[in-house]
Structure 1
Amino acid sequence: MSNVGFSALACLFFVCCSRAVPTPLIQEAVNDRPVIGILTQLVTDDVMKPFGRTYIPGAYVKYIESGGSRVMPIRLTLSTAEYESIFKKINGLLFIGGAVDLEKSDYARVARIFYKLAVAANNAGDFFPIWGTCMGMQLLTVLVAGENLLANTTAENIAMPLNLTADAYSSRMFQGFSDDFMKILTQEPLTGNFHHYGLTVETFQENEKLQDFFTVLSTNVAENRARFVSTIEAKIYPFYGVQWHPEVNRFQWRRKLNFPHSFHAVQLSTLLADFFVNEGRKSLHHFDDAEEEASSLIYSYTPVYAGNFTAYEQIYFF
């Protein structure tokens, strides 16, 4: 997905890593009231500016809620101390798709703070998962590599099967998938792609930091025939990334956009939402004050119908 400028149709929704070996993360799922934070994005499109400074497309909120979690929107204007406080209260973090500078923007700055907190927490045995979708996955690679290594891998408005790697079959992300469904993933166009940039397989193989940190679970081929990494998970940390959009399979319906809505496409979205939220259940972070918790959640906000001026059906503005 593009990391230069914002285009609602270009991507629909949207540090160097520690090399220390963390304490093994063996916590069982014990938290049945998880809260997943979603990092907002800065409004840059003129038609959206009257509604708020930052936003989250509604599909991401519904996606996380469908897995059994609540959502906390995280603004881009807080202090480091405030982000550190939020980190202790939420049980996971979602980096959504979009189009921002992945090194110099406020979005990148805040993401870097949470990334460092998550690495340190997991190193200490304090389980904390992160998921990146489309640009969010690209952001994870920038945070780990310490530089932007993206290239033109345009796959605009196309649904594709996944070219699974051998590692996919022993991965955490796909551990709940049946053998039959893993085969379906490689045969049916279940993954909606709406991006212009990505990480090529060649670049990944040439970068020691990325190879040490991530395992590639799938690849795909862009319109220019470049092979790009389409699904990743961290080797040690509970960090996951997809270049495609699982949330659109259930919650986006534009007729001119190639959202997969087959039975298997919806099943894929369900499985992944359930997986990530269950990762959040392994986090013991919590709010100490019930009133603060209630006021921090997405329920305090009303989504705006955005169909007249964006590619999203609904958007939360902040």
Structure 2
Amino acid sequence: MSCYDDCVSLNFWFQLITMKGVLIIIAAYFLYFCKGASRTFNVQSNVLNDRPIIGVLSQEQSIYLHSKYPEENYTSYIAASYVKDIESAGARVVPILIGKDRRYYEELINKINGVFLPGGATFFNQSNGFADAGQHIYDIAKELNDAGDYFPIFGTCLGFELLIILASGRDKIENRIRCYSYNNLPLNFTRDYRSSKMFKETPRDIINILKTKDVTVNAHQFCIVDENLKSHNLTDDWRVTAHSNDEYNVEFIASIEHRRYPFYGVQFHPEKSAFEWKRSKNYPHSFEAVKANRYFMDFFVQECRKSRHSFASATEENRYIIYNYEPRFTGVLGSAYHQCYFFEPRGTVSYK
């Protein structure tokens, strides 16, 4: 064989090896890409989690109820109506305690499928309290969603206000205004509300009830108005879907949602129509009121079904679930809440 033939042969084998290397690299690239795409698709796929577990954030105990259980010295609580509302929509509840470090919230959030921020009567400036816990949850949830890990939050009344204040950047001057509304009201939907995530599939009969009947329960002395969104440059991130008017005709935001994240809020109390019974409060208990208010938790639980988080085992799940706690009949003690769950002593209570 001549030198020329040897060179041709070597060149042939060199090209073949080079082509194989390129093909292997291309195959490895597509294998990795497709696997990554599959992971992303699974987060957003239609394969839903039919065993959702939702965390409900506790808050500082009121002095009034604290005085009813002096020996136990309970310092945080969750109204049972929120738990019942979630359970009625087909999910279970894990209490999230206040006063913990970020690691506690990170570990718990990676086991549950969403967080509910309840209404109540506590301040946002108490150290290691409701607002600080909410800050941890809000930041962690944003990080998860930015990474493609679908994780919803829903805030009611105080919880809704907290969401907007957290989005505003907490400051000594809170981004909300005084607003007095203790009536049952209809919703004044925005013109484009039907293209929102929360209301795009709402049945017509429920929309009609919410539009025309006094069925949303309001019980707040603060509220968020459109100007609060504008003053803190939140209009690009948050979308208003409905308003209502307080006793002094102040138009406040009644429902809102984040444009990118699955974060939602309502100023009113959907849970009260079905689960709170204090006569002096005049909550609407009609069939229409219960039916219309039922929609909001049904919607949120369906959102939580998109999360694939889970506990490591049934044993671990059982250690966290709210069934480990016994609700107390607080309505008979004069509380606005019919029943409450109480949690560990921490040494401080709310001044409200």
Q: TM (normalized to structure 1)? A: 0.88
The 5 Å alignment of 1:1-318 reads 26-49=44-67, 50=69, 51=72, 52-105=74-127, 106-147=129-170, 148-156=174-182, 158-208=183-233, 210-307=234-331, 308-318=333-343
The CA distance in 1 between the partners of 2:63 and 2:148, in whole Å, is 41
What is the CA deviation profile of residues 15-48 of structure 1, one whole-angstrom value per residue up to 9, with x for unaligned ones? xxxxxxxx99733352111110000011132433
Helix, strand or coil at the partner of 1:60:
helix
Q: Between Structure 1 and Structure 2, whose CA radius of gyration is higher?
A: 2
Helix, strand or coil at the partner of 2:218:
strand
Quickly say closer, same or farther: Cα 1:291–1:82, change in 2 above 3 A. same
What is the CA deviation profile of residues 195-214 of structure 1, one whole-angstrom value per residue up to 9, with x for unaligned ones? 00001223323431x21221
**Gapped regions of structure 2 (runs ≥ 5):** 1-39, 344-352
Helix, strand or coil at the partner of 2:219:
strand
Q: Which amino acid aligns with 2:213?
A: E
Quickly say closer, same or farther: Cα 1:112–1:288, change in 2 above 3 A. same
* Aligned 8 A contact 1:167 1:216 in 2: no
* Aligned 8 A contact 2:206 2:291 in 1: no
The CA distance in 2 between the partners of 1:94 and 1:199, in whole Å, is 19
What is the CA-CA distance between 1:103 and the residue it aligns to? Answer: 4.5
What is the CA-CA distance between 1:298 and the residue it aligns to? Answer: 0.6
Helix, strand or coil at the partner of 1:240:
strand
What is the CA deviation profile of residues 141-163 of structure 1, one whole-angstrom value per residue up to 9, with x for unaligned ones? 0010113211111102x100001
Q: Which amino acid aligns with 2:143?
A: A
* Aligned 8 A contact 1:162 1:219 in 2: yes
Q: Which amino acid aligns with 1:150?
A: R
Helix, strand or coil at the partner of 2:144:
helix
Q: TM (normalized to structure 2)? A: 0.80
What is the CA deviation profile of residues 36-74 of structure 1, one whole-angstrom value per residue up to 9, with x for unaligned ones? 000001113243352512100010000000110000001
What is the CA-CA distance between 1:104 and the residue it aligns to? Answer: 4.5
Q: Could you tell me the percent identity over the aligned residues?
A: 40
Q: Which amino acid aligns with 2:294?
A: T
Helix, strand or coil at the partner of 2:340:
strand
* Aligned 8 A contact 1:36 1:91 in 2: yes
Quickly say closer, same or farther: Cα 1:205–1:258, change in 2 above 3 A. farther
Helix, strand or coil at the partner of 2:63:
coil
Q: Which amino acid aligns with 2:302?
A: N
Quickly say closer, same or farther: Cα 1:83–1:206, change in 2 above 3 A. closer
What is the CA-CA distance between 1:167 and the residue it aligns to? Answer: 2.7
The CA distance in 2 between the partners of 1:112 and 1:27, in whole Å, is 29
The CA distance in 2 between the partners of 1:205 and 1:274, in whole Å, is 30
The CA distance in 1 between the partners of 2:224 and 2:211, in whole Å, is 20
* Aligned 8 A contact 2:190 2:242 in 1: yes
The CA distance in 1 between the partners of 2:209 and 2:341, in whole Å, is 34
* Aligned 8 A contact 2:278 2:336 in 1: yes
The CA distance in 2 between the partners of 1:191 and 1:258, in whole Å, is 12
Helix, strand or coil at the partner of 2:87:
helix
Name the structure, 1 or 2, with higher relative contact order (CA <8 Å, separation 6+).
1
More helix by share: 2
Taking only aligned residues, the RMSD between alpha carbons, in angstroms, comes to 1.7
